[in-house]
Structure 1
Amino acid sequence: MGDRSFGYSAQVRPFLWVFLVVTPLEILLVELLVPWYWLRAVLLVLGLLSALLLAWQLWMLHRFEHSVDAEHLCLRYAREFEYRIPLAAIETVTQGMTSQADNKTRSVVDGTLVLTISHSTNVSLLLNEPQRIDLGRRGAHDVTKVQFWTDDPDGMVRALRK
């Protein structure tokens, strides 16, 4: 089985595009409304940096997608994190929307690794053995369940059940 990629950014991508399109309009308005050259120059630099960061975020969300290969499920969020879960450790895969109250993109709640997009998940994995997940400053945790979001939950479930 070859690598299959699954996006997860369809919910946030439109907002990033709106801000990317609005940024040049903002720069133009600043040029027209602000009378001080030094302030216009500073705001122009900040506006250009903002546009670059938005474009970079869009690219990162597209470049670093979830993937399934012959041995692992790789869950990602841009370059912020990447977790590799052996397919042999996955006992069951289910599809279903869940809402999370936590504002964090990733967290561990009662032994469940939760990777949300817009406070939601749509795929759940039950693991047959605990997996050690390192959340950086939030510490390492043993998890027995994983909940995450993908733009194609049907395709993800099919890929994981093979």
Structure 2
Amino acid sequence: MSGVGAVPAPRAAVAVRVRRLLAHELRAAAALGRWTARRKHGVRPGDHAAGYTGPQTPLLYTLLCVSVIETVALAYLIPWPAVHVTVLVLDVYGVLQVLGLHAACVTRPHVAGPGGSLRIRYGALFDLVVPADAVASVRVDRRFPAGRLLALSEDGVLDLIVAGQTAVTLELTRPLAFTRPLGSTGEARTVRFHADDPHALVAALRPPALT
């Protein structure tokens, strides 16, 4: 029996999701400052940083332009001051959300360490550290899977999809646990993800990773 005052499971799950969403918001805000200063997160001397924003950048900037146009248009169309201020705040918040997502992705690239380790990321939403001894093989492998950002198949293939595509397939020597953006977990035996220059990333994963 659970103790008196124990938090019901559904309520606890919601609390975890809310905390993670707030954490993502804070990381995105920090990323805006890091992006302005042209600094990368978690990239040390000797590391190979691999960007992955190429396919999604035009989409994000298009969304940003639409949001700005909408904000300006509504400023002229809405005659009620209270409603106008509310809509303006929501629109500005939406613009900052888009900018924060892009900044987080730019400043948190994939990172290949000189010893053969690999850190696979998507902004502040996903972060998987792959030790060198967990890398069985890695290859350039362009695919165009359907689905959302993260898709895990029944046989343990994890797709980290950027704008409908992946470019690198990483086979693992053992299953690795990962955490989804809202806190649920899973295990992957193979990870497929995007890199703007997949050949350079694969080349950066030198032995012992490929031995």
TM-score (norm 2): 0.68
Q: Kindly indicate which of the two structures has a greater share of residues assigned to strand.
A: 1
Match of 1:107 among 144, 151, 156: 151
- Between the aligned partners of 2:62 and 2:84, the Cα distance in structure 1 is 23
Task: Give the one of 91, 106, 109 matched to 1:65.
Answer: 109
* Structure 2 residue 99 is the aligned partner of structure 1 residue 93: no
Show structure 2 runs of 5+ residues with no match.
Answer: 1-44
Q: Which runs of 5+ in 1 are unaligned?
A: none
Aligned partner of 1:24 in structure 2 is 68
State the partner residue of 1:152: 197
SS of 1:54's partner is helix
**2:186 aligned residue:** 140
**Paired residues of 2:177 and 2:185 also in contact (CA < 8 A):** no
Deviation at 1:77, TM superposition (A): 0.7
TM-aligned CA deviation for residue 33 of structure 1? 1.5
Partners of 1:25 and 1:137 in 2: CA distance = 35
Q: Distance in 1 between matches of 2:82 and 2:135?
A: 58
Matching residue's letter, 1:140: G
Q: Which moved more, 1:108-117 or 1:73-82?
A: 108-117
What RMSD in Å do the two structures reach over aligned CA positions?
Answer: 2.0
* Whole-angstrom distance in 2 between the partners of 1:153 and 1:21: 29
Give the counterpart of 2:163 among 118, 137, 140: 118
How many residues are aligned here?
Answer: 160
**Contact 2:135-2:171 at 8 Å conserved across structures:** yes
- Letter in structure 1 aligned against 2:185: G
Which residue identity is paired with 1:153?
A: P
Task: Name the TM-score, length of structure 1 as normaliser.
Answer: 0.87
Q: What is the CA-CA distance between 1:54 and the residue it aligns to?
A: 1.4
State the match for 1:4 in structure 2: 48
